[in-house]
Amino acid sequence: MQLLTMTLLPFAGSLLLSMLPRQARNPSAWLAGAVTLCALALLGAQAAAVSRGEVQRFAVAWLPSLGVDFGLRLDGLAFLFCLLILGIGAMIVLYARYYLSPEDSMPRFYAMLLLFMGAMLGVVTAGNLIMLVVFWEITSLSSFLLIGFWKHSQDARRGARMALTITGAGGLCLLGGALLMGHIVGSYDLDAVLAAKEQVQASPLYLPALVLVLLGAFTKSAQFPFHFWLPHAMAAPTPVSAYLHSATMVKAGVFLLARLYPVLSGTEAWFWLVSGAGLATLLVGAFIAIFKHDLKGLLAYSTISHLGLITLLFGLNSPLAAVAGVFHILNHATFKASLFMAAGIIDHECGTRDMRKLNGLWRYMPWTATLAMVAASAMAGVPLLNGFLSKEMFFAETLFVSGELAGRLIPVAATVAAVFSVTYSIRFVHDAFFNGEPKGLERTPHEPPRWMRVPVEVLVLICLAVGILPAWTVGPLLALGAQATIGGPLPEYSLAIWHGLNVPLLMSAIALLGGIGLYTFLYRRFDLHTVDDERRGGRDAFEYLVLRLTSLSRALTFGLQNGSLQRYLRLFVLAALLAGAWPFVHGQYGTGPLAGTAVSPVVLAVWGIGAVATVATVILHRSRFVALVTMGVAGLIVSLAFVWFSAPDLALTQLLVEVVSILLMMLALRFLPQESAPEPVRRRLADGAIAIFAGAGIAAIVYAVLTRPLTTISGYFLEKAQPEGGGTNVVNVILVDFRGYDTLGEISVLGIAGLVIHALLRQLRVPELPQPFGAQAADRHPLLLALIARLLLPLAAVVSMFLFMRGHNLPGGGFVAGLVLGVALLVQYVASGMDWTMARMRTDFHAWIGWGLVAAGFTGLAAWGFGYPFLTSSFVHPILPVIGEVPIASAMFFDLGVFLTVVGSVMVSLTSIARLRAGGAPHAQPR
């Protein structure tokens, strides 16, 4: 339960924070900090077990038919990432309290931050691939909200949309890869997947699954050519950049590489795809970073470069390279988060991040300058700092790459990238803290508030401690994460500062000296401040692609959806006709050996009346009233057919639906012409041909089905309805028990439909109509009809309750009962008029819809309280005095929800039409 509580705690904190008022700045910061520290304490409580090599697990049934549980899993790798997420998250919470201005909604910011924190915890602790994808997509959505937090900024909105588009598309690819891997292994459980390396790599689906998974990882971790979204995300507040774009979100991609390393790595495809993307990203990001003028822009491209370094390490197919990759994940998170926060301090105190203006800040903020210089030195790989150690391991691993081309190219490229890294680190320090005096600043620079600088101090201290005493400070944590990544015993490695005079040390020296020389050359020969640092290629390509896709979708939409319901129906029927004809044309389907069933001549005559009424509806459709009458006759014949087939529940439902439909359309006819406009002969011929072919096709399918032997599940329901559902009316038991999920969805759709009709008609204005269809005619109500309607209302209510109460054992139920009461209430509007009825019926039927859905939903939730799956029903038979045995089923309360929703939806829909006034405003709503 500790694992579950730790993962869900940030979500609960996010919900609480969203309820706080905007002005609750300090309470929101305290709450966010308390939630993060509590989650960190719960993680610490599991440290001992994880350090012993135990994997903490939690699982409850979620989709058992698909083999998917709500599962969480905490091993060494997940523990390492949880520590980064929660540890740096706690520092970001403290930092953001002083960074955000009074105009910013701090509760809203912290709510989004904790939502993202919980999603990241879910990603790294997911116990199966489906859960990983679910939390992965939540990180994309929550990061979209955080990047666009300053919604008044166009750059923030654009950056948020770009990040969501790229990472969201990658998430869809990851879903495809996860489904393929689950199909190969036969399970989505992470333990089973990680143990199936040979099975996965021997499958012909390995390469497609690998490509899809890598697309998810590369888009999230901003690998080339998807790297361009990350710099545009720098429009977010600096706490977001320090958290998402250095320590957490962009690390999700490399976490995915580490998590699936035991099952996907070791092949040529893995080597070339992963190391190739990592090498390109390493070089491109490092080179562009040199020429950026914005502090956060420089750090963004340096982040891209370091993520490429980590990706390259995982792609080398070497266990020791994987250890180096995990090590650099830790080191990069510490020095890059501190650098982002230092850049935020500079922006907060100076009013700009432009290095062309930020000169000589050493004199004004020496403490911040010192901290930033140490962190930048760690980024450059200076000895006695943590970045030096992981870069040494990186250099060493590039020397053992097999292959003539790769073995020569990768060490050289790694050294060149390290030279660039030193160069942009020097520029960060020199342009911000030295190089003359500040130019045109909005305010005089000074040190930030004390507690705003504390997170930077802590992270810089970690950089120093790991760089000086690596084996004591980070050794055990690295071993935990690396062993879980490799999936086997760790290779031998040393975290010592000095390994003697060797080639990796020479590469480090070349990088340091080359970086100093390159920056000196650029500084003296070129004015870096005059270089155009706008890199529009990726953004322009993205915007062009979005524009083209939008134009294509608009053309398709306008081509298929031009507002004509006839066209939609025609396309739908044609598509169904082609799909149904396919198996007949190819000989895969035909009639069976069974003989037909004899039919009574009376039944044929009745069905003939229905067929004639249907054809008459088509022929006489221009006369709307006549067509309505013939359509009602056809519906009545369908009801009689259900009676003949011994389906009284369906017959009752069909009959009542016909009554409701006729009343609905009768009300609507008041505002329509008596006849519709004639249609062109060509269209009528085409529609007639489609109708004939569609009817013949349906008849062929029905005949083919009826003449074939078939197995039915009706016996199961007949056998289980009473002992497990507590009712003898099998149809009702199926609806409220066996298919309760479907029924809940159907009444939800029904309620939504009623509300949509109300919303569409609420502001509708209809034109003045000629008599007798005008407003004066609408106010005339026959006295006899009004009297009979008022007398029948109590009787209808009693019948409705009778049908409801007996529905579990005899024909009836909540749906039928709701229709009966709805029709009875509607007749009052028709018979006595809107004003008279509304004055006496002071109820809001919108609330009936809500209460109906609540009743049905809570009936399902109640089963959880007794340890049963959602919507599991129960029943008892208490014996009451005088009355005797009374059967009571929990499904009755679910049926009550159906009843309320049906009545509410019918009344909201029909009264919305009845409230319309020709040429005027609708009636006021009941209160």
Q: Pick the closest to residue 357 from 472, 463, 437 (CA basis).
A: 437
What is the model's pTM? 0.74
CB 44 within 8 A of CB 123: no
Q: How far apart are CA 418 and CA 433, in angstroms?
A: 23
Q: Is 509 exposed, middle or buried (0-12, 13-18, 19+ CB in 10 A)?
A: exposed
Q: What angle do CA 66, 68, 74 make, to 5 degrees?
A: 165
- Three-state secondary structure call for residue 606: helix
Helix (H) or strand (E) holding 57: strand 56-63
Q: Tell me the β-bridge partners of 888.
A: 876
Q: How far apart are CA 104 and CA 33, in angstroms?
A: 18
Tokens standing for residue 260: 């699936």
CA distances from 197 to 76, 132, 184, 264, 425 (A): 20, 19, 11, 7, 41
CA dihedral 181, 185, 190, 195 (to 10 degrees): -120
Q: Is 289 exposed, middle or buried (0-12, 13-18, 19+ CB in 10 A)?
A: buried
Tokens standing for residue 16: 């609480």
pLDDT at 925: 45
CB 197 within 8 A of CB 155: no
The amino acid at 649:
D
CB 816 within 8 A of CB 807: yes
Q: How far apart are CA 555 and CA 217, in angstroms?
A: 33
pLDDT at 780: 63
The amino acid at 604:
L
Treating both helix axes as pointing N-terminal to C-terminal, what angle do 25-45 and 2-18 enclose, rounded to 10 degrees? Answer: 170
What is the end-to-end Cα distance of the chain in Å, rounded? Answer: 47
Tell me the HSE value of 822 on the side-chain side, using a 13 A CA sphere. 33
Question: Which residues in the chain land under pLDDT 50?
Answer: 771-778, 918-927
Q: How far apart are CA 362 and CA 429, in angstroms?
A: 10
Tokens standing for residue 391: 């870069």
Phi and psi angles of residue 861, each rounded to the nearest 5 degrees, phi first: -65, -30
CB 886 within 8 A of CB 880: yes
CB 629 within 8 A of CB 612: no
The amino acid at 480:
L
Q: What is the DSSP letter of 622?
A: T
Helix (H) or strand (E) holding 876: strand 875-876
CB 863 within 8 A of CB 871: yes
Q: How far apart are CA 75 and CA 49, in angstroms?
A: 9
Q: Omega before 772 cis (within 30°)?
A: yes
CB 322 within 8 A of CB 348: no
Phi and psi angles of residue 196, each rounded to the nearest 5 degrees, phi first: -115, 40
CB 639 within 8 A of CB 651: yes
Tokens standing for residue 699: 């008849």
Q: Pick the closest to residue 158 from 167, 168, 147, 169 (CA basis).
A: 147
Treating both helix axes as pointing N-terminal to C-terminal, what angle do 76-99 and 475-486 enclose, rounded to 10 degrees? Answer: 120
Number of helices (H), then strands (E), in the chain: 40, 6
Do you know the residue count of the chain? 927
Q: What angle do CA 323, 324, 328 make, to 5 degrees?
A: 120
Tokens standing for residue 872: 């599991």
Buried b (16+ CB within 10 A) or exposed e, 193-225: bbebbeebbebeebeebbebbbbbbbbbbbbbe
Q: Pick the closest to residue 122 from 230, 255, 308, 220 (CA basis).
A: 255
Q: What is the DSSP letter of 675?
A: B
CB 214 within 8 A of CB 273: yes
Q: Pick the closest to residue 333 from 97, 86, 139, 162 (CA basis).
A: 86
CB 17 within 8 A of CB 107: yes
pLDDT at 536: 63
Phi and psi angles of residue 72, each rounded to the nearest 5 degrees, phi first: -120, 150
Q: How far apart are CA 231 and CA 242, in angstroms?
A: 13
DSSP 111-148: HHHHHHHHHHHHHHHBSBHHHHHHHHHHHHHHHHHHHT
CB 233 within 8 A of CB 241: yes
Q: How far apart are CA 838 and CA 823, in angstroms?
A: 16
pLDDT at 94: 95
Residue partners of 611: CB distance under 8 A and separation at least 6: none
**Residue with token string 């459980």:** 189
Q: How far apart are CA 845 and CA 860, in angstroms?
A: 23
| Other Cβ atoms closer than 10 A to 273 | 18
Q: How far apart are CA 197 and CA 199, in angstroms?
A: 6
Q: What angle do CA 567, 568, 574 make, to 5 degrees?
A: 85
CA dihedral 200, 203, 209, 214 (to 10 degrees): 60
**Residue with token string 């799909």:** 579
Tens of pLDDT, residues 638-671: 888 888 888 888 888 888 888 888 877 877 777 7
- Three-state secondary structure call for residue 889: strand
Tokens standing for residue 279: 């090498």
